[in-house]
């Protein structure tokens, strides 16, 4: 199995009307790797992710503002920024760039 992270990206002029796209690249027991393409999307008001598995996420391109419920300040992410989110840590996406595709690589894994 192989591919290219940058293949089949939407054209930006068409993107603002597009829905955020999540694609599973690889799954294995205890592991899921996803490519996420955001075009100005954000978490719905009042919504928090609270995932059972841990998640390592890399912002490949674009920009995003990520908020953790247990932190007073949101984190602005730029290309190359990565972070590890422990299981059940509540977080949300405040915004993603509207003038550039925001491309994420997310690795969900069980933590022992």
- Give the Å distances, CA to CA, from 52 to 30, 37, 61: 11, 22, 26
In whole angstroms, how large is the CA radius of gyration of the chain? 14
* pTM greater than 0.85: yes
- How many of the other CB atoms lie within 10 Å of CB of 23? 11
Cα separation, 53 vs 50, whole angstroms: 9
Instruction: List Cβ neighbours of 79 (8 Å cut-off, separation of 6 or more).
Output: 59, 60, 61, 62
The architecture in CATH of the region 16-109 reads: Sandwich (2.60)
Task: Write the pLDDT tens digit of every residue in 12-60.
Answer: 665 556 678 999 999 999 999 999 999 889 999 999 999 999 999 999 9
pLDDT of residue 13: 62
**Boundaries of every domain in the chain:** 16-109
Instruction: List pLDDT tens digits, range 54-70.
Output: 999 999 999 999 999 99
The per-residue pLDDT for 17 is 60
């Amino acid at each position: 199995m192989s591919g290219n992270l940058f293949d089949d990206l939407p054209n930006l002029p068409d993107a603002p009307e597009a829905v955020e796209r999540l694609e599973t690249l690889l799954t294995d027991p205890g592991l899921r790797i996803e490519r996420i393409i955001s075009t100005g999307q954000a978490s719905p008001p009042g919504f928090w992710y609270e995932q059972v598995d841990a998640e390592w996420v890399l912002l490949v391109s674009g920009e995003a503002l990520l908020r953790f419920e247990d932190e007073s300040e949101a984190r602005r992410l730029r290309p190359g920024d990565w972070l590890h989110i422990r299981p059940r840590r509540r977080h949300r996406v405040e915004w993603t760039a509207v003038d550039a595709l925001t491309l994420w690589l997310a690795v969900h894994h069980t933590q022992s």
